[in-house]
Structure 1
Amino acid sequence: MSDSKKFSRLTANAKDSLIAQMSKSGSGAGVSRRAPARRSVVAGIPDSMCDFSQLPGYKELKIHQTIAVQTGIMEPYFLCHDGLAKDTTRINGEEYLNFSTYDYLGLNGTERLNNAACEAVRKYGTSASASRLVSGERPPHRELERGLADFYGTEDCLAFVSGHATNIWTISQLLNRNDMIVYDALSHNSIIHGAKMSGAARFSYPHNDYDALERLLSDSRASHKRCLIATEGLFSMDGDLPDLPRLIELKKRFKCFLMVDEAHALGVVGETGHGVAEHFGVDSGDVDIWMGTLSKSMCGCGGYIAGRKPLTEYLKYSAPGFVYSVGMPPAMAATSAEALRILVEEPERAKRIQELGGFFIQEAKRLGLDTGHGQGFAVAPLIVGNSLVAGLLSTAMHKRKVNVLPIIYPAVEDSAARLRFFLSYSHSKEQIAQALAIVAEELPKVRKLATSFSDESASN
């Protein structure tokens, strides 16, 4: 029996166990397969329709939690860190090597950024107090946007209070049912949901398969008014880059807009951290929409769109996620603006990340570990086989005082479950080598343990 089938059997057993537990305890009306659902005063509608515990998604969550308990996997999420999460962190008073931080440039908590934030709080308080359209506009917002526009060499930039919402409301506002959106199959959730909300025809192409993209455009482009091609600048799960020159060629030939999400690429990719355009040596103006987030290299919160003035002006007055949302706290804008200045002044930070990323790939391969599509940047995956193995390995790493989280199905295919390492300017090669050595030591053990769980499940 294959590992995936064994894991499915384990999931089924956990489901039966959960149903039995809930039925025995009397909780969860409507869970029992035999007991008829009680009727509410509205004829034909069972009580379970107003019980959150009966939501299909919640039941699925409880099944996965039951599997975790049965197999000894710790809950890896929502761990409370006692202070700054840098190359090391403290969890419940104990120090861990830390590979679960977006602080790529090692700037979070530095005196320069803290001073920028504190000065902005003294001047503007802790809140923008309203949407920027109403009365929430403050000088740090414009300072940040002007800095990002100059950084990308674009006419303008617009900052949103949420990175996820930046993609959703930009994409859904720019296109409609007469248009089409084509995106890489591994694009971020926010790109996919933005495409869904737009009402446009949606097509995904296999990851970085530009021949497939070309066929899609050849078949469908002429049937739609506008077309948007969306991709990531550094893929958040796999740590690889798109072929930007090929994308630009296709977008020009088929008369499309091109959008690049640089959430993980800003400050990390390119000789001076200017992103994927710098890496490939192309004109940034050939990309119509530069998107990114401020919560990673920029040590703040929110997202941005950089491009031509008509694009940002239209979004400023029409995108619901901007118009009807409170403005970004001025202190966050001031902090990210200062981080951007440091990146420009200290391009060696980007070079350091790339050096560490290259070392990670080299050392992992020396140890026989699978780095997937990783190309040696701040996002470094280790493919381990399936979700059960990934969960057990993350637990084993935690016990060895290394904080690195698993990425499991449905975020990725079950066969591509992984540990995802985030590398920071603060890390040393010695720390990376130590963590990878522990992976190499623990992985055979957890694979053996996972097989025993699956075999036991299959025999029941």
Structure 2
Amino acid sequence: MTLFNEVWNGNGKPKEGRQVVKLGSNCLSFSANNSSPGAINAATISAWLIDKVSNILEIEPNLIETDKDFVDYDLDSVEAVNLSGELETWLGCRLSPTLLWDYPNIDALANYLAEYKASQATDASTPATEAKLVSLNQITLPNSKTIPEKYYKFEQTEEYQALKLKLQQIDELGQGNPFFVPQEGIVKDTTIVNGRELINFATYNYIGMCGHPQVSQAATEAILQYGTSAGASRLISGEKPLHRQLEQEIASFLGTEASILYVGGHATNVSTIGHLLGKNDLVVYDALSHNSILQGCFLSGASLVAFPHNDWEKLAQILAERRHRYEKVLIAIEGVYSTDGDLPNLPKFIEVKQRHHAWLMVDEAHSLGVLGKTGRGIGEHFGVNPQDVEIWMGTLSKSLASCGGYIAGSQALVEYLKYTSPGFVFSVGMSPANAAASLAALKVLQAEPERVTKLQRQSKLFLELAKAKGLNTGMSEDSPVVPIIVGNSLKSIKLSQNLAKRGINVPFMIYPSVPHNQARLRCFITSNHTEEQISYTVNTISEELAKL
């Protein structure tokens, strides 16, 4: 196990020819681009940050307070990472994507960057010396009585207090807490809430596999044969025949060489991206990427740059300017974007990644079982060669009626992940019931492709009716995800709650899940929905929205 531990824990020797960077060095010495300022100081950096933050928030620059914390401006994680990426380009040095968390406001960040840039030239011409050891008695520790309670009592933390304030605002609407509402029974085109049956547009049971008799029976039989848990990591003794059968079925269905299962969809992205990329690499991701992609990026330590949503031309420009600075480069996109319901032009993204020798990762959480004539996803939708995408990612919780995620691709990729990916190696194997359920769902899907046909027909009907009513459906196209953009957060919550009173269950999405002033309802259409349900829902949304 020594070799395994060295690989997994990073204790092995550095790869031959790889640069070893000292701890604390978060910038590399490459030239700044032409837009970089001639003289770097705190004032010029502060002015740059004021301009960028005011543009993001769409307010006048004179309203930006340099000593006000970034968190108080409600910058979301995507905006914060994007700002770090733009700073990296402007200053011409590699920067941590978490800068806006490390330095709380414009003053602190500008001072840090100015000092760092000033020391960079000196460091480049001065031989490195070993850091001096400091004994514990040389360190002045603060008196424990001077430490505010918000730093060690969780109920006093600023983050928790901010959450309580938001929940209070929702409670003041007078209709109760809309979160964590129990759904009774199997969720499909209808659901039961507090004993009432509602038309349900809040589930991504897209092709009706959750509750399908064959799927439920397969899960039951797996429990009877293997119990309720894999009992261990698959690497050691948790491997079940069902795991390999499902992995082989997924790979065959998608047209790849192999696949690997993870116990959670979110964890699949986090563990895979976080493991495959490192400090000498770059991840270029869509600005509307899912949180799991962002968390994987943060974990990796790679440089991060977001490109404008679905803009493959801007992506090409970014790579033309930056590709030569890095070793591995990953492009991360989604098959169907889960908040907007639109698709990327996959053939164009493949062209870009081939031109710049990068990896392409496609998150198919909301496109597997949804797109393509037989539900094989966005690859089938566009008729591309599956081998032209290095990393196909998907979840089992949507069209495949279970829980977990997968990565599909080359045999080499999957073998490497199975022996080294922390989210796989150090996790229990997928439960037998979950594996069996997804395996059965995949077989039903292949036997009954008409489910996909009906889903696509009903999705198109919903979108057409919504547009005819003048509802703002944003960028949605060719998918069962249709947003109804309202704008104001509290207004969208109230609309959702009013619809519930009229027998319709539709979830809302508010900041930070969506951008400022883009609060919405998000409707998931399924193959089980009837034309009558769809027509009634669209008409009712239009009526209730007009009342607000």
Normalising by the residue count of structure 2, what TM-score does the alignment of the two structures yield? 0.73
Percent identity between the two aligned chains: 50
Matches within 5 A, 1:85-234: 85-234=187-336
Contact 1:361 1:376 in 2 (8 A): no
Q: Distance in 2 between matches of 1:414 and 1:393?
A: 18
Equivalent residue for 1:243, pick from 345, 354, 371: 345
Contact 2:149 2:156 in 1 (8 A): no
- Per the TM alignment, residue 41 of structure 1 is displaced from its structure 2 partner at its CA by 7.0
Q: Distance in 2 between matches of 1:55 and 1:269?
A: 44
**Correspondence for 1:341:** 443
Q: Distance in 1 between matches of 2:376 and 2:274?
A: 27
**Correspondence for 1:357:** 459
More displaced, 367-376 or 295-304? 367-376
Matches within 5 A, 1:21-420: 42-420=144-522
Q: Deviations over 1:231-272 (max 9, x none)?
A: 000111111111100000000000000000000000001111
Q: Distance in 1 between matches of 2:176 and 2:525?
A: 23
Contact 2:488 2:519 in 1 (8 A): yes
Contact 1:88 1:95 in 2 (8 A): yes
How many residue pairs get matched? 410
Q: Deviations over 1:88-118 (max 9, x none)?
A: 1111111111111111111111211111011
Q: Distance in 2 between matches of 1:256 and 1:206?
A: 18
Structure 2: which amino acid aligns with 1:439? I
Structure 1: which amino acid aligns with 2:366? H
Normalising by the residue count of structure 1, what TM-score does the alignment of the two structures yield? 0.87
SS of residue matched to 2:521: strand
Q: Distance in 2 between matches of 1:57 and 1:47?
A: 13
**Correspondence for 2:125:** none
SS of residue matched to 1:384: strand
Structure 2: which amino acid aligns with 1:433? S
Q: Distance in 1 between matches of 2:258 and 2:405?
A: 14
SS of residue matched to 2:333: strand
Q: Distance in 2 between matches of 1:41 and 1:109?
A: 59
Q: Distance in 2 between matches of 1:386 and 1:147?
A: 44
Q: Distance in 1 between matches of 2:502 and 2:145?
A: 57
Q: Distance in 1 between matches of 2:456 and 2:527?
A: 9
- Per the TM alignment, residue 43 of structure 1 is displaced from its structure 2 partner at its CA by 4.1
**Correspondence for 1:426:** 528
Contact 1:359 1:376 in 2 (8 A): no
Q: Distance in 1 between matches of 2:153 and 2:502?
A: 41
Gap runs ≥5 in structure 2: 1-57, 60-71, 73-141
Q: Deviations over 1:418-449 (max 9, x none)?
A: 10011111111110111111110000212xxx
- Per the TM alignment, residue 56 of structure 1 is displaced from its structure 2 partner at its CA by 2.2
Structure 2: which amino acid aligns with 1:155? E
Q: Distance in 2 between matches of 1:429 and 1:384?
A: 24
Larger Rg: 2
Q: Distance in 1 between matches of 2:438 and 2:143?
A: 54
Gap runs ≥5 in structure 1: 6-14, 16-39, 447-460
- Per the TM alignment, residue 44 of structure 1 is displaced from its structure 2 partner at its CA by 2.5
**Correspondence for 2:85:** none
Structure 2: which amino acid aligns with 1:136? G
- Per the TM alignment, residue 76 of structure 1 is displaced from its structure 2 partner at its CA by 2.0
Contact 2:253 2:376 in 1 (8 A): yes
Q: Distance in 1 between matches of 2:543 and 2:289?
A: 33
Q: Distance in 1 between matches of 2:174 and 2:367?
A: 36
Q: Deviations over 1:162-213 (max 9, x none)?
A: 1101001100111101010000001110001101110111000110112211
Contact 1:232 1:262 in 2 (8 A): yes
Q: Distance in 2 between matches of 1:422 and 1:186?
A: 18
Contact 2:360 2:390 in 1 (8 A): yes
- Per the TM alignment, residue 377 of structure 1 is displaced from its structure 2 partner at its CA by 1.6
